Every structure is written in structure tokens, then in C-alpha cells.
């Protein structure tokens, strides 16, 4: 009930803010912006505003809120606002950042600016950030936060409790303390809930959990997200190759990974960046989309070239020109279904060399059965339409061939692209469409040429 009330109040504030903006009441806008909205709401408002209004709102955000708001903005918009700040302003904003969030922010800046910002930090904070920056951002090392609370296995629970009380607060998402040796080698975890119910005289070694597997620092962020989802983790320790503790990953960072992966898969289907600004300027948007349109134009010319090979046949049998799009369209849809299924299976770690053969056989049979069923439907309609049984037989055979080819390509293409370190979500749909168009036209027009010749 409280959450519903809070959401209702937030929506009301956003409506009031919109009305104040429309009326030009900047003092009222500033009051609502800085006094009634959370940093995440402010970030959402900035992302939902056209460039001129966005700049106005950003200028009204109080300085002590700017850092928190930046953490919630997508990369495209965040990079723009960062480019407007000098080194000292950056240093002031990042003062309370956690090491992983700070590393994410710094990676969007030129190397010279990164070094200048690092030089303004004290040695301990700088070393923490440099530790995270030393790993690729799409690995566990790039996700981890070095702010951890560790304890030794030989101390008592009572000592742990007194140690915790010395802290003003615990790092966010702290559900467990990490147990390490004197050389910082990972041993296990000590859940906070277990501390509260254990005998104060018991040692950490007696009550800690040693079944927890730490995350290797080089593990990819998608694999990390899969582990968190599979085992319902809130946080997890990160270790290097020798088992030495480096930091921990928390669920809030994993949620960001899951969202970014979902955005990436969706936007890549259209050749767009997952951080694409909805309200980006016209020229910037035009340039980004022009590249993808150019790639699609090349593939369209390939399909057109195949049609051109059968120009004489098409000119003699007009029905072929009418029915051609059906064959290509059916193959494209069937292939997209298989492609999407395989890409999703790869993303969640369900597809491997052990089961890809079974999956390929299944898709082959599904393609053949769907091909036969719809070939019968389309052949009947085509024969009745053009009063020609032969045209019905040709399109039926072409449909079966194209749907089987679509199933094969849709299954194997993502695996091939992945083995070449090419993103299947980005390149898969374009290649698949080209293949199904070429195979469909070649089968349909080739059979027609053989029969009507």
C-alpha cells in the first residue's frame, strides 16, 4: 500500500513539474525537481525530455544531486553532461561514488581526463578505482565494488558484532560478511542473519558458510547475471586466479546488466545502440541510422540480383511476380522465430555443443512440417487464383525448401557468429533475411524456369 501511495505521489509531482515547465515557472520547477523527486526520477525525466528542455532541467538540478542523477542516466546522455564539466567539477561530483559506479563513469571520458580526475583522489580511493578500471567493463572485475567488509575465521561472533557497531553504516546490499585469511584468500561467507541467531561465543569458522562459490574476476557479466538469477543471490565475492578476494558484486549492478542486455537485444534487431537517446538531435540520429540502412540496401541489391537472373521467366509468367513475396516472407518469419529462440538460449546458457545437434534436428523437422502444411494452403490458393495447378506445385516446393533452409540458418547462424566474436543480435537478422530471400527467390524462380522452359 505504501509503495502504491509513493508511486502515485511521484506521478503527481511529475505532472506538476510538467505544468510548471509549460508555464515557465522556473522557481517552481526547481523546487519540485530538487525537493520532491528522487535521483532516478530526475534521470528518467531528463531522458524523456527534448534536448533544449533537458539542458534547462539539468541546469536547475542542485550540485549535490548531480552525481546521483548521473548514475541513473543512460550512457549517451551521461556522456553529454560529463563533457560539459571541468575536472574540478567532476572531482566534486564523484566524491561519494562507489568504486564500480565511478569506474563506469570514468570509462566514458578521455584518458587524459581520467588521469586528472584520479590525481584529485586520495590514494586509497584511487587504488580501488584503478583496480576496477584494470578489467574490461563487461566482466566481473568491471562490475565489482571493492568496498567490502571482511573478517577472519578465528574470531568470535561477539567480536564481529562489536566490529560492525564501529561502522556508521554498512556498504549497500550487504547481506553477508566475507571471511578471508591473513593473505586475503577467500574462505567463505558469514550471512548477517546467521550472526544474529548464533551463540556470541562461537567462532566465525563454526558458523560461516563455505559452500558459496566465489565469482572469477574474468567471468563475463552475462554469466554473472545468470548465476545471480539461478541462485537468487544478493551479493557475491569476486576472486582472482589464486583465490585472493578482490571485491564483490551486488544485485543492483546485476539488474543493470540484465536491463542492458535486454535493451541491446531489442535495439540490435534494428541496428541501434542500446543507449540510443530517444530525443537525440536530428543529424545525430540520421547518421546512426544511415549506416544500417546502407547495409540493408546492399543485401536488398543481392536479393534483387537473384530476381534479375530470372527476368525472362518472370516476363512470361506474370503470376511469379505476384507470388514471389509470399515465399520470401514466410522464410523470413520462420527463420526469425528460430534465430530469436537460439539467441535467447545462448544468452541464458542453455545451448552448448552437447545439445545443438538435437536442436538442429528439431528445427529441421518443425521447418519441414510447417513447410508442408503451409505449402498445401498456399498451393491451393495459388492454383485457384491463377487457374494453374503447376504454379501451385512450384510455390509449394519453394516454400518447403525455404522454410527448411530458414530453420537451418536460424539455428546455426548465431553459433557461427558467436564463434567469430560477432554479436548475433546485431548481425543475425540481416544475414538471415538475405539468405531466406535469396534461397526463396532462387527456389521459386529456378523451379519455374525449369518447368515452364
CATH number of the 150-251 domain: 3.10.580.10
Element at 179 (helix H, strand E): strand 176-180
DSSP 233: -
Residue identified by cell 522454410 is 403
**Least confidently predicted of 270-274, 360-364, 397-401:** 270-274
Cell representation of residue 284: 545525430
- pLDDT confidence of residue 266: 63
State the chain's mean pLDDT as an integer.
Answer: 86
Residue 172 has pLDDT above 60, yes or no: yes
> What does the domain layout of the chain look like in residue ranges?
2-140, 150-251, 282-452
Site of grid cell 565475492: 237
pTM over 0.75: no
| Whether the domain at 2-140 and the domain at 150-251 fall into the same CATH topology | no
Count CB-CB contacts under 10 A for residue 52: 9
- The more confidently predicted of residues 12 and 75 is 75
For the cut 80, the answer to whether the pLDDT of residue 68 exceeds it is yes
CA dist 313 and 396 (Å) reads 18
Q: What pLDDT was estimated at residue 14? A: 61
The segment with the largest mean pLDDT, out of 238-247, 318-327, 416-425, is 238-247
pLDDT at residue 1 tops 60: no
Q: What pLDDT is stored for residue 152 in this prediction?
A: 95
Residue 423, Cβ density class (10 Å: 0-12 exposed, 13-18 middle, ≥19 buried) = middle
Mean pLDDT across 99-110: 82
| Extended strands (E) in 229-337 | 235-239, 245-250
Q: What are the phi and psi torsion angles at 179 (to 5°)?
A: -95, 125
| CB 100, CB 145: distance < 8 Å | yes
- Whether 84 has a pLDDT exceeding 90, the answer reads no
pLDDT higher for 13 or 352? 352
Highest mean predicted confidence (pLDDT) among 28-42, 195-209, 254-268: 195-209
| 209-225 confidence digits (pLDDT tens) | 999 999 999 999 989 99
Range of weakest confidence among 160-164, 165-169, 212-216: 165-169
d(CA 161, CA 121): 31
339's CB contacts (< 8 A; 6+ apart) are 410, 413, 414, 424, 428, 429, 432
Q: Would you state the CATH architecture of domain 282-452?
A: Orthogonal Bundle (1.10)
pLDDT in the model for residue 422: 83
**pLDDT-derived band at 155, boundaries 50, 70, 90:** very high
> Which residue reads 573478517 in cell numbers?
151
> Averaged over 242-248, what is the pLDDT?
95
Highest mean pLDDT: which of 66-70, 82-86, 369-373?
369-373
**For residue 348, what are the contacts with CB-CB under 8 A and spacing of at least 6?**
226
Q: What is the structure's pLDDT at 13?
A: 64
Task: Give 381's pLDDT tier (boundaries 50, 70, 90).
Answer: very high
pLDDT of residue 217: 96
Separation of alpha carbons 19 and 23, rounded Å? 6
At the second CATH level, the architecture of 2-140 is: Alpha Horseshoe (1.25)
90 pLDDT more than 90: no
Supply the pLDDT for residue 228: 94
- Please report the DSSP string for 300-328 in residue order: HHHHHHHHHHTHHHHHH-HHHHHHHHHHH
> For residue 9, is pLDDT > 80?
no
Return d(Cα 377, Cα 383) in angstroms, integer: 10
Q: What integer is the mean pLDDT of 281-285?
A: 73
335 burial via Cβ count (<10 Å: 0-12, 13-18, 19+): buried
229 membership: H or E segment, kind and range:
helix 221-231
Q: For residue 271, what pLDDT is reported?
A: 60
For residues 228-254, b (16+ Cβ closer than 10 Å) or e, as one string? beeeebebbbbbeeeeebbbbbbbebb
In contact, 214 and 238? CB cutoff 8 Å: yes
Q: What does the pLDDT read at residue 377? A: 94
For residue 146, the 8-state DSSP code is: -
pLDDT of residue 24: 67
C-alpha cell at 102: 565511478
User: Distance between alpha carbon 230 and the CA centroid of its chain, in Å?
Assistant: 18
247, pLDDT greater than 90: yes
| 405-411 average pLDDT score | 94
341's torsion region: left (phi>0), alpha (psi -120 to 50) or beta? alpha
Mean pLDDT across 32-39: 79
Residue 238: predicted pLDDT: 97
Across 64-78, 82-96, 118-132, 170-184, the highest mean pLDDT is recorded for 170-184
Angle at Cα 289 formed by Cα 288 and Cα 293, nearest 5°?
Answer: 135
Amino acid at each position: 500500500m505504501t509503495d502504491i501511495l509513493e508511486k502515485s505521489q511521484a506521478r503527481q509531482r511529475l505532472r506538476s513539474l510538467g505544468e510548471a515547465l509549460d508555464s515557465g515557472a522556473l522557481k517552481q520547477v526547481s523546487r519540485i525537481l530538487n525537493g520532491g523527486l528522487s535521483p532516478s526520477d530526475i534521470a528518467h525525466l531528463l531522458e524523456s525530455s527534448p534536448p533544449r528542455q533537458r539542458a534547462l532541467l539539468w541546469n536547475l538540478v542542485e550540485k549535490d544531486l548531480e552525481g546521483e542523477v548521473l548514475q541513473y542516466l543512460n550512457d549517451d546522455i551521461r556522456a553529454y553532461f560529463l563533457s560539459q564539466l571541468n575536472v574540478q567539477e567532476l572531482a566534486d561530483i564523484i566524491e561519494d561514488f562507489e568504486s564500480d559506479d565511478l569506474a563506469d563513469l570514468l570509462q566514458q571520458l578521455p584518458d587524459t581526463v581520467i588521469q586528472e580526475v584520479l590525481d584529485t583522489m586520495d590514494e586509497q580511493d584511487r587504488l580501488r578505482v584503478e583496480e576496477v578500471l584494470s578489467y574490461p567493463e563487461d566482466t566481473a572485475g568491471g562490475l565489482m565494488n571493492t568496498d567490502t567488509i571482511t573478517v577472519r575465521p578465528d574470531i568470535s561472533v561477539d567480536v564481529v558484532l562489536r566490529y560492525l557497531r564501529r561502522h556508521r553504516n554498512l556498504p549497500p546490499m550487504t547481506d553477508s560478511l566475507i571471511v578471508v585469511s591473513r593473505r586475503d584468500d577467500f574462505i567463505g561467507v558469514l550471512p548477517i542473519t546467521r550472526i544474529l541467531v548464533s551463540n556470541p561465543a562461537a567462532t566465525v569458522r563454526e558458523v560461516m558458510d563455505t559452500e558459496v562459490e566465489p565469482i572469477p574476476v574474468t567471468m563475463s557479466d552475462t554469466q554473472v547475471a545468470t548465476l545471480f538469477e539461478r541462485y537468487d543471490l544478493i551479493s557475491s565475492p569476486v576472486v582472482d586466479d589464486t583465490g585472493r578476494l578482490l571485491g564483490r558484486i551486488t544485485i543492483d549492478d546485476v539488474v543493470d546488466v540484465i536491463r542492458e542486455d535486454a535493451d541491446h537485444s531489442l535495439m540490435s534487431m534494428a541496428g541501434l545502440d542500446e543507449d540510443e537517446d530517444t530525443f537525440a538531435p536530428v543529424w545525430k540520429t540520421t547518421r546512426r541510422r544511415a549506416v544500417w540502412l546502407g547495409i540493408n540496401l546492399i543485401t536488398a541489391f543481392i536479393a534483387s540480383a537473384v530476381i534479375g537472373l530470372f527476368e525472362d521467366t518472370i516476363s512470361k509468367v506474370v503470376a511469379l511476380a505476384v507470388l514471389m513475396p509470399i515465399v520470401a516472407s514466410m522464410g523470413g518469419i520462420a527463420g526469425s522465430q528460430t534465430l530469436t529462440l537460439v539467441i535467447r538460449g545462448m544468452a541464458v546458457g542453455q545451448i552448448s555443443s552437447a545439445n545443438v545437434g538435437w536442436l538442429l534436428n528439431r528445427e529441421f523437422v518443425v521447418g519441414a512440417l510447417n513447410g508442408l502444411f503451409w505449402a498445401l494452403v498456399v498451393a491451393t490458393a495459388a492454383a485457384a487464383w491463377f487457374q494453374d495447378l503447376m504454379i501451385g506445385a512450384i510455390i509449394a516446393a519453394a516454400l518447403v525448401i525455404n522454410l527448411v533452409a530458414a530453420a537451418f540458418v536460424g539455428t546455426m547462424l548465431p553459433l557461427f557468429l558467436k564463434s567469430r566474436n560477432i554479436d548475433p543480435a546485431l548481425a543475425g537478422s540481416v544475414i538471415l533475411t538475405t539468405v531466406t530471400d535469396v534461397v526463396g527467390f532462387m527456389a521459386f524462380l529456378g523451379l519455374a524456369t525449369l518447368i515452364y522452359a
